[in-house]
Chains A and B, each alone.
Chain A
Amino acid sequence: MKALRNLVDSVKPTFSKGGKLEKLHWVFDGLETFLFTPGHATTSGAHIRDGIDLKRTMSLVITAMIPCLLFGMWNVGHQHYLAIGEFTALGDGFWEKFLFGAIKVLPIVVVSYGVGLGIEFLFCSIKGHPIQEGFLVSGMLIPLVMPVGTPLWMVAIGTAFAVVIGKEVFGGTGMNILNVALTARAFLFFAYPTMLSGDKVWVSTDGQAVVDGFSGATSMGHAASGNMAGVVPMMDSFWGFEAGSIGETSVVACLIGAAILLITGVGSWRIMLSVFLGGLAMAGIFNWVGPMVGNAYMQIPMLHQLMLGSFFFGLVFMATDPVTATQTNTGKWIYGFLIGLLAILIRVVNPAYPEGMMLAILFMNVMAPLIDHYVVQANINRRLKRATLQTA
């Protein structure tokens, strides 16, 4: 540690004002504060400075995502070996599966971080402001919401689009309207529909021969096309033994992440709970209506419905994004509830979109400022009424 500190101190003048690489000052600053707590102290007045800056908050969220990532790697391998008919039992070939998944997943992570941070560093150097680490989380979320078959150049384009159009044009970290990772996914979803939906991309077959009866579609894909037998049982869906985007299949991994976020106070429990309730409500309505209209998809039991697809992943990591969610407490309830409601509604009713979580969250991201506005306004009106009553 000491050697690292010395190294950082020795090159510091090069990047300071007047130094040779003055232009890269903020890049250096970003790396330095990433390694060590910021050295600048308040010099006058009685101010309290919290040691938790954006980087520490972000690392907490990344920690929360690690279960999803690790499980995702194993599951990619598991689905692969299922498809080619080897190690079909759950416990078999753990390391083979994990290694296979890691080889498939890690390049996507590297590309996502490389492109995203590169663009972020570039913008900070041009604009001359400190590097804000919003991308640390987005860079991890992007690989987790991609199908394993996504080509790396697509990941790069999606990431670049999301960082530039989704974030930098609005003023950088903390100013974006839409969730960055979902912007990347939505862009790719509409730009290259064949690579982000359908039944070819979710399971990596690696060109090997697949077993008879292998389909490659996700549960959502099966359900949308009316093949209810293809939907995995609830417990498989709960543990995550199904095809899907890399990090979203396991409800357990998402719940571990949720626990970390809630204990550290980084994620909002109001949003998580209300998304869950919203989804439950819509699934309940469908359960009630389903038998009347004879729609098998609507009749999936409520909890099972929620465990399919990316509902829990979106609930824990996407809906709670503090920048794009509502800020008021009442607003959080409305915002979350509508996300859950819309996600299940889109998923079941609209055949063009097998999973509704992405679109539901993006839609509510746009609506969040409006919700906040009316919540605040209602508050003002209520208090105004009280004040006038007293004077009258």
Chain B
Amino acid sequence: MSTSTAPVAAKSEGLFSKKNRKLITDPLNDNNPITVQVLGICSALAITVKLENALVMSASVMAVMLAGNVIISLLRNVIPSRIRIIVQLVVVAGLVIIVDNVLKAFVYDVAKQVGVYVGLIITNCIIMGRFEAYAMGNKPGPSALDAFGNALGYAWILVAVAFFRELFGSGSLFGVPILGDAAEKTRLYAFGYMNNNMMILPPMALVIVGIIIWIQRARNTKLIEQA
């Protein structure tokens, strides 16, 4: 693969052409990294107990993926294909260390909670998958869009799952107790409502992701395999 072989037509293509816009919209629905490719499930289970954590995690993944995709795309012609996985790992590991330190510096409380999972971004299959499947064969511009789209696709599932888990599991959103205080029995709790402990446990995240997949497939007929 060399730079000179890029087709002429691609050069004249704008950054937000129809094809490039599809790079962003595709992962939101038709090719969602979590619900369709079923990647990154591990982090979706682990850090969706609270909305805040889910947002921080999404932002971290987006930062790592965006920067990583661009870097890999820039390096794509000089990376020997035999050791490309190692190179990709080095890039993503370096970025994760930076993100981890930024989190610790600015949002220490959240960083403590999501701590180990930020480190595990290194092993997030979505990121390695995008490096391998897209950045290794495309120019930096589209690669950035691709990373952005996939990170968004990842983020909205995480936030959706975290929304239900925090609302029903802790009775709050972003830590604000909107259903009332469980200990002092205010608002809903005054009527005997109780927090659903199951929502705090990881299996329920899987069930919620399952329900999202169910709804998505019921609405999006493209995803249904021909028997």
Interface residues of A (CB under 8 A from B): 151, 153-154, 157, 165, 169, 187, 190-195
The interface residues of chain B lying within 8 Å CB-to-CB of A187 are 198
A192 to B189, CA, bound (A): 14
A192/B197 in contact, CB under 8 A? yes
Q: For B197, give its contact among A151, A157, A165, A190 (CB under 8 Å).
A: A190
Chain B interface extent, by class: 10 to 19
Distance from A128 Cβ to chain B, minimum over Cβ atoms (Å): 14
Enumerate B165-185 residues with CB–CB distance to A below 8 Å.
none
Asked if B198 and A191 sit within 8 Å, CB to CB, the answer is: yes
B207 within 8 A of partner (CB)? yes
Contact count A vs B, C-beta below 8 Å:
24
> Separation in Å of the B151 CB from the closest CB of chain A?
29
B207: nearest chain-A partner, CB-CB = A165
- Mask of B200-227 contacts with A, CB within 8 angstroms, 1/0: 0100000100110010000000000000
Q: Does B7 contact A (CB under 8 A)?
A: no
Contacting residue for A190 out of B194, B198, B210, CB 8 A: B198
**Interface residue? B192 (CB, 8 A):** yes
Cβ of B227 to closest chain A Cβ, rounded Å: 14
Check A192–B207 contact: CB distance below 8 A.
no
Query: Complex formed: what's the CA distance from A228 to B141 in Å?
Result: 73
A321 to chain B, nearest CB (A): 22
B210 touches A195 (CB 8 A): no
| B186 part of interface (Cβ distance < 8 Å) | no
Q: Is the CB of B197 within 8 A of A193?
A: yes
User: B77: which A residues are within 8 A, CB to CB?
Assistant: none
* Residues in chain A near residue B196, CB distance under 8 A: 157, 191-192
Determine the distance from Cα of A187 to Cα of B192 in the docked complex, in whole angstroms: 18
24 residue pairs from A and B, CB less than 8 Å apart: A151-B192, A153-B192, A153-B193, A154-B194, A157-B196, A165-B207, A165-B210, A165-B211, A169-B210, A169-B214, A187-B198, A190-B197, A190-B198, A190-B201, A191-B196, A191-B197, A191-B198, A191-B199, A192-B194, A192-B196, A192-B197, A193-B197, A194-B194, A195-B194
- Determine the main DSSP class of A at the interface with B: helix
A71 to chain B, nearest CB (A): 28
Measured CB to CB, the closest approach of chain B to A311, in angstroms, equals: 25
Tell me the complex Cα distance, A193–B195, Å: 11
Residues of B close to A165: CB separation below 8 A: 207, 210-211
| A-side contacts of B207, CB under 8 Å | 165
| Complexed CA–CA distance, A195 and B214 (Å) | 31
User: Which 8 pairs across A and B sit closest by C-beta, in order of nearness?
Assistant: A191-B198, A191-B196, A190-B198, A191-B197, A192-B194, A151-B192, A165-B207, A193-B197
Q: Which residues of B lie under 8 Å from residue A169 when comparing CB positions?
A: 210, 214
Q: How far is the CA of A177 from the CA of B68 in the complex (A)?
A: 43
Least Cβ–Cβ distance between A358 and chain B, in angstroms: 15
Cα A165 to Cα B207 in complex, Å, equals 8
Q: How many Å from the CB of B154 to the closest CB on chain A?
A: 24
Complexed CA–CA distance, A153 and B194 (Å): 10
- Residue numbers in B under 8 Å from A154 (CB-CB): 194
Alpha-carbon distance between A193 and B192 when the two chains are bound, in angstroms: 15
What is the bound-complex CA distance between A157 and B214, given in angstroms?
A: 20
Look across to chain B and name the residue whose beta carbon is closest to the beta carbon of A190.
B198
Give the nearest-CB partner of B199 in chain A. Answer: A191
> Which residues on the B side are within 8 Å of A195 (C-beta)?
194
For B192, list chain A residues within 8 Å (CB): 151, 153
Q: How far is the CA of A195 from the CA of B198 in the complex (A)?
A: 13
- Residues in A with CB closer than 8 Å to B201 are 190
Residue of chain A at shortest CB distance from B203: A190
Q: Which of A154, A191, A193, A194 has the most CB of B within 10 A?
A: A191
User: What is the bound-complex CA distance between A66 and B196, given in angstroms?
Assistant: 32
Q: Once bound together, how far apart are the Cα atoms of A153 and B196, in whole Å?
A: 12
Distance to closest chain A CB from B52 (angstroms): 23
- Measured between beta carbons, the chain B residues less than 8 angstroms from A192 are 194, 196-197
Chain B residue numbers with a CB within 8 Å of A190 are 197-198, 201
Q: Which residue of B lies closest to A193 (CB)?
A: B197
Given contacts A153-B192, A165-B210, A190-B201, 13 further A-B contacts (CB under 8 A): A151-B192, A153-B193, A165-B207, A165-B211, A169-B210, A187-B198, A190-B197, A191-B197, A191-B198, A192-B194, A192-B196, A194-B194, A195-B194
CA distance A234 to B196 in the complex (A): 37
Question: How far, in angstroms, from A151 to B192 measured CA to CA in the complex?
Answer: 8
**What is the CA–CA distance of A154 and B196 in the complex, to the nearest angstrom?**
10
Write the chain B residue with the least CB distance to A164.
B211
Which chain B residue has the least Cβ–Cβ distance from A165? B207
Q: Which residues of B contact A194 (CB under 8 A)?
A: 194
Cβ contacts under 8 Å, B214 to chain A: 169
Smallest CB separation, A194 vs chain B (Å): 8
CA distance A182 to B196 in the complex (A): 18
A122 to chain B, nearest CB (A): 14
* CB-defined contacts of B199 to chain A, threshold 8 Å: 191
What distance in Å separates the Cβ of B72 from its nearest Cβ neighbour in chain A? 39
Q: How far is the CA of A191 from the CA of B210 in the complex (A)?
A: 18
Please, how many angstroms separate the alpha-carbon atoms of A190 and B201 in the complex?
9
